[in-house]
Structure 1
Amino acid sequence: MKNSLRSFILLVLGLLLPVWHAVAQSAANAPEMADTLRQDGKIYVVVAVIAVVLAGLLVYLISLDRKLTRLEKEVHNR
């Protein structure tokens, strides 16, 4: 029992420590691109473009769902 608990703890530590180390390294090396875009005020342009693309996809999916619902009703009524 003690041996299996010890091996489980070692396994968890062996898996978590490298991940924790990688996260700590990435936090220390923050991307310069985001800082540059934020300083220049262009980050808002990037966010706006992403929002427009996602809104377009949402509108397309809603219209596609309405067309599909209409076709399903049409087929069901025949």
Structure 2
Amino acid sequence: MKNIIAALLLLFSAASTFAQNDVEMASGLRSSGKIYVVVLVLLTIFAVLGIFLYILDRRIKKLEK
């Protein structure tokens, strides 16, 4: 579980570093407010993936015992 949290923190810190560049497409999305939809979809995908991996890890530990 600690590894997953560390990986997510690394991912978000890397994403914030790359998001600081002024990209024309990102500026257009930011000005129209659609960037929030993109961020929400990405966060939802990562959250579901994290939950799935956590449940899978619990099942595997249960099988190992």
Question: How does the TM-score come out when normalised to structure 2?
Answer: 0.65
Q: Look up the match of 2:25.
A: 33
Higher relative contact order (CA 8 A, sep 6+): 2
Q: Runs (4+) of structure 1 moved beyond 6 Å?
A: none
Larger radius of gyration: 1
Match among 37, 47, 61 for residue 53 of structure 2: 61
CA distance in 1, matches of 2:58, 2:23: 42
The root-mean-square deviation of aligned C-alpha atoms, in Å, is 1.1
Unpaired runs of 5+ residues, structure 2, are 1-20
- Gaps in structure 1 of 5+ consecutive residues: 1-26, 74-78
1:31 Cα deviation after fit:
1.7
Q: Taking every aligned residue pair, what percent have the same amino acid on both sides? A: 49
Aligned length: 45
